[in-house]
Structure 1
Amino acid sequence: MLEVSKEVTVERNITLIDRDNISERSNILANEVRIALVYNGISHTVMLATPEDIEAFAIGFTISERIVSNINEIKGVDIEYVENGVIVNIEITQRCFMALKEQRRSMAGRTGCGLCGVAQLDEAVKPIKEVPNTVNFDLGLLPDVLLKIKEFQRTYEITGATHAAFGINLAGDVIYAHEDIGRHIAMDKLIGTFSQRNAEKPAAVLLTSRASFEMVQKAASAGVEVLFAISAVTALAAEVAEQSKITLVGFCRNGRATVYTHPHRLQLHEAPLQPALAECE
């Protein structure tokens, strides 16, 4: 039986081979544990995740997967550490629980995979949910934002093994930051944090990963209007963002950004972007 550690990182002895040199040393690894999500006493899914901010993950997953429509339909979260993982007991309203039972699917979560075990293909893409239109974000702030996020990626700096999701306000400040070995989990943790009562909702979300359609879908579930990704955007992600009315921006690095959908929420040097604009510097 694998021993469960609550630590974000673990130390392991390794053999380092560097050209012809061989040395023994210790190495720091990102930790991952099995987390079982149980709704009203019924097991729903098991995910692999970094063992921190577990309550935020449970809340964010419950919202982003549309098991509930808002935080008020989550009545309680209880975390239990057991010999081979973590059990998170989530109590939701009876109405939500009955709906979950009707559309229940078997999901086996794996690192970096958000669709493993989906029983039917048409369950992969959820019905389109449009986000509001309240944000006007200055794209000129983005280079400074990208510099700021490095100080929040402590686990990545040590291990090089984690993704991160950041909540950004209109001033370009990082107001929320979450790391995890899984990009979907980092996003869920972020959603769980800002979805709680009296929490400030970010003007935009920045991902250190690619923007796949699941990430856009999660953003839509949480009402995120602007989604930035340091890496690429997939075709289905752009399609879902277009229909969800999300402003989707990829390749945010080196002073550049590629705008795929709904540029009207963005401005550059106080000038609004034009709908035909695909790339800006």
Structure 2
Amino acid sequence: MEKETSTRARVLRIRDGVLAPAPDDDVLAEETPIALEYNGISHATMLATPADLEDFAVGFSLTEGIIDGARDVRDIESRTSPDGIVLSLTISSACAARLKERRRALSGRTGCGLCGVETLPEVLRDIPPVPPAAPVRARAVLDAMRALRVRQSLHTLTGATHAAGWADADGAIALAREDVGRHNALDKLIGALARRADDAPAPGTGLIVVSSRASFEMVQKTAAAGVGILAAVSAPTALAQRLADRLNIALLGFMRDNDTTLYAHAERISA
């Protein structure tokens, strides 16, 4: 199903303002159009790293509210062409009928922002708040972010990808996914969590760490996964903070070494 995630290219380097006399090799992350079809109907095209695509298909479907759980996906098939990869999902008839009612045109991007919505209410979907859970130690959250960096093998190779990881309450990373897009990395992680739900701890018992800033969409996806803690390397937006407050999510930003800032629901974090 999946293509190579990186490729080599000839480059010229400038060091200390001086152009090197000869070309050198560099490694670039691949970015591939990934089209998603549901029961034979085209729905979205995203630009993503061509890895962990079944996780991506399930996670995107969950966080977009297309399905209610991984079991609503009956089958996933892929078709590869010179233009990209098509993921064809067969979903339950109830989910397919619901999708037809609110179908919209999407056009994905590596960068930030929405993937195209028809009405303003579609921006902030009606997601229930995450239930309360036992607080997680601040040290565990910091440890999880450090552990995520070790799991970023494609970023180490290319310097061009984001990562999202799920850690247990002790800060041990159990799952991590990478992608050129931060939203895609989180969707891949959520899809992986959903697909292993029968033989793994509930996502709500742990936390999510991401190697990016925290936009409202990252908070919304975290809530859709039922996880009550989202920690980001960089800053949150104001809308992300307000949404985290409404959805009962502890939102942490500026994770640096032993430092971080807590923006919402401090009761989920203990000393």
> Could you tell me how far 1:118 is from its partner in structure 2?
1.8
Selected match of 1:248 from 248, 251, 256:
251
Residue identity matched to 1:26: D
Residue of structure 2 in register with 1:201 after alignment: 202
Q: After superposing the two structures, state which structure 1 stretch, 106-115 or 210-219, moved more.
A: 106-115
Map Cα deviations across residues 91-117 of structure 1 (whole Å, 9 max, x no partner).
111111111111111110011234132
> Could you tell me how far 1:79 is from its partner in structure 2?
1.9
What runs of 5+ residues in structure 2 fail to find an aligned partner?
Answer: none
**Structure 2 Cα separation of the partners of residues 49 and 41 of structure 1:** 21
**Structure 1 Cα separation of the partners of residues 235 and 158 of structure 2:** 23
Query: What is the correspondence of 1:32-181 to structure 2 with a 5 Å cutoff?
Result: 32-181=31-180
Q: Note if contact 1:128-1:243 (Cα within 8 Å) is conserved in structure 2.
A: no
Q: TM-score, normalised by structure 1?
A: 0.90
**Structure 2 Cα separation of the partners of residues 123 and 147 of structure 1:** 35
Identity %: 40
**Structure 2 Cα separation of the partners of residues 221 and 47 of structure 1:** 20
Secondary structure of the equivalent of 1:146?
helix
Q: Note if contact 1:56-1:188 (Cα within 8 Å) is conserved in structure 2.
A: yes
Map Cα deviations across residues 216-253 of structure 1 (whole Å, 9 max, x no partner).
00111110111111110111111111111111111111
**Structure 2 Cα separation of the partners of residues 87 and 16 of structure 1:** 36
**Structure 2 Cα separation of the partners of residues 194 and 200 of structure 1:** 9
> Could you tell me how far 1:5 is from its partner in structure 2?
7.9
Selected match of 2:238 from 232, 235, 239:
235
**Structure 2 Cα separation of the partners of residues 52 and 99 of structure 1:** 28
Q: Note if contact 2:148-2:209 (Cα within 8 Å) is conserved in structure 1.
A: no
What runs of 5+ residues in structure 1 fail to find an aligned partner?
Answer: 269-281
**Structure 2 Cα separation of the partners of residues 176 and 43 of structure 1:** 30
CA RMSD of superposed structures (Å) = 1.6
Map Cα deviations across residues 18-59 of structure 1 (whole Å, 9 max, x no partner).
322323011100111010000000000000000100000000
Q: Note if contact 1:165-1:206 (Cα within 8 Å) is conserved in structure 2.
A: yes
Selected match of 1:12 from 9, 20, 41:
9
Q: TM-score, normalised by structure 2?
A: 0.93
**Structure 2 Cα separation of the partners of residues 119 and 254 of structure 1:** 41
Q: Note if contact 2:148-2:164 (Cα within 8 Å) is conserved in structure 1.
A: no
**Structure 2 Cα separation of the partners of residues 97 and 33 of structure 1:** 26
**Structure 1 Cα separation of the partners of residues 88 and 19 of structure 2:** 50
**Structure 1 Cα separation of the partners of residues 134 and 41 of structure 2:** 39
**Structure 1 Cα separation of the partners of residues 220 and 19 of structure 2:** 48
Task: Count matched residues.
Answer: 265
Residue identity matched to 2:201: E
**Structure 1 Cα separation of the partners of residues 221 and 166 of structure 2:** 14
